[in-house]
Structure 1
Amino acid sequence: MVTILIDDEPAAIIELHGMLRKKHPNLLVAGSADNIRDGLQKIETVKPDLIFLDIEMPGGSGFDLIRQLKKGNRPEIIFVTSQSNYAIQAFSCAALGYVLKPVEWKPLAEAIGVAEERIRQKNNEQRLETLLENLKTSDSSKKKIGIPHDRGVEFVPAGSIVYCEGEERYTRIHLKEDGTRLSSYAIGQYRKMLADHDFYPIHRSILVNRNFVKRMNRAGELELTTKKRLTVSRRRRAEVEAWLKAD
Structure 2
Amino acid sequence: MRVLVVDDEPLARRGIIARLAREEDMTVVGEAADGASAVSAMNELKPDLVFIDIAMPALDGLSAVAMLPWEHRPIVIFVSAFDQFAIQAFQVRALDYLLKPIDDDRFSESVARAKEAWLARPHRSTTPSQPSRFTVRVGAREEVVDIAHVDWIEADGDYATLHLGPRTLLLREPLHKLASRLDPDQFVRIHRSTIVRVSRVAQIQALTNRDAMIRLTDGTALRVSRTYTQALRQALFQFGAS
Normalising by structure 2, report the TM-score. 0.46
Larger Rg: 1
Higher relative helix content: 1
Of structures 1 and 2, the one with the larger relative CO (CA 8 A, separation 6+) is: 2
